[in-house]
Amino acid sequence: MTLQFNHLAILSAAAWLGACAPEAREPDISVERGERLYFQKCAVCHGNDATGAGVASIGLGAPPPDLTTLSAQNRGVYPRTFVMSVVDGFNRRTHPESAMPEFGNEDLGPAVQVEDGGLSTPIPSDLIALAAYLESIQR
Ligand code: HEC
């Protein structure tokens, strides 16, 4: 009797796990993932080469900035936190009518704990991947 009950418990646990499996997503913070996301979400405005001349860049209130010179404009230091906060929408841009969408409302993947100056902060994995891709294309 007990055995049978255990069996059932295991079966239903397996069914429950199976139902959850499609939801579970492994965090992927690779440059390759960031590149794929960039071409899906950003290239239309910032351009395939990220210099700002995407097909949708014409007629925006402010032109999409060149994303390959972020380090150069920051005394050679890649501004990772700034990049992530702009994409997330947390860092509201100087233009109130900013054409730059807030991606923080979208599903940006499972969060990853990132250590920064002794603080551990959960950051969505797609944000980290996008920032890693942009870092890889700095001139
Ligand atoms: C609808 C067009 C559009 C899309 C799509 C878009 N951006 Fe932007 N982005 C802009 C514009 C316009 C600005 C500059 C104006 C502003 O500050 O809001 C900007 C600013 C930025 C900045 C700040 C750069 C600086 O030097 O201040 C970063 C970083 C950035 N975008 C990254 C991204 C990333 C990464 C994506 C994709 C996840 C993306 N953008 C998608 C239009 C867009």
How confident is the model over 39-68, as pLDDT tens digits? 999 999 999 999 998 888 777 777 889 999
Residue-wise pLDDT for 68-95, tens only, equals: 999 999 999 999 999 998 998 876 665 5
Pocket of ligand 1 (CB under 6 A): 41-42, 44-46, 56, 60, 62, 64-65, 67, 70, 83, 86-87, 93, 95, 98-101, 103, 130
Interatomic CA distance for residues 132 and 1, integer angstroms: 56
Cα 47 to ligand 1 centroid, rounded to whole Å: 11
Residue nearest ligand 1's atom 39 by CA: 42
